[in-house]
Amino acid sequence: MKLKSLALAPAFVLALAFPALAERISLNELSNYLNGLRTVTSAFTQVNNDGTISTGTVYISRPGQVRFEYNNDNTLVLASGGTVAVFDGKTRSAPQQYPLSETPLSIILDRNVNLGRANMVTGHSERNNATVVTAQDPAHPEYGNIQMLFTGGPTELRQWIITDKAGEKTTVILGEMSKGMNIPSSRFSIQNEIGRRRR
Reported as half-sphere exposure (CB side, CA atoms, 13 A), residue 131 has a value of 22
Three-state secondary structure call for residue 123:
strand
Q: What does the pLDDT look like over 173-192, one tens digit per residue?
A: 999 999 999 999 999 999 98
* pTM for this model (two decimals): 0.86
Residue pair 74/188 in contact (Cβ under 8 Å)? The answer is no
pLDDT at 44: 98
**Integer Cα distance of 90 and 74 in angstroms:** 7
Question: Residue 18's pLDDT is what?
Answer: 46
What's the confidence (pLDDT) of residue 14? 46
Instruction: Quick: pLDDT tens for 58-88.
Output: 999 999 999 999 998 889 999 999 999 999 8
Q: Give residue 21's pLDDT band: very low, low, confident or very high (50, 70, 90).
A: low
User: Domains of the chain, with CATH numbers?
Assistant: 27-198 (2.50.20.10)
Q: 157: Cβ–Cβ under 8 A, 6 or more apart, which residues?
A: 33, 34, 37, 108, 148, 149, 150, 174, 177
The phi and psi torsions of 75 (rounded to 5 degrees) equal -65, 145
* C-alpha to C-alpha distance for 145 and 1, rounded to whole angstroms: 13
101-134 pLDDT, tens digit each: 999 999 999 999 999 999 999 999 999 899 999 9
Is there a contact between 179 and 37 (Cβ–Cβ < 8 Å)? yes
Which is nearest to 146 in space by CA: 121, 166, 181?
121
By percentage, how much of the chain surpasses pLDDT 70? 89
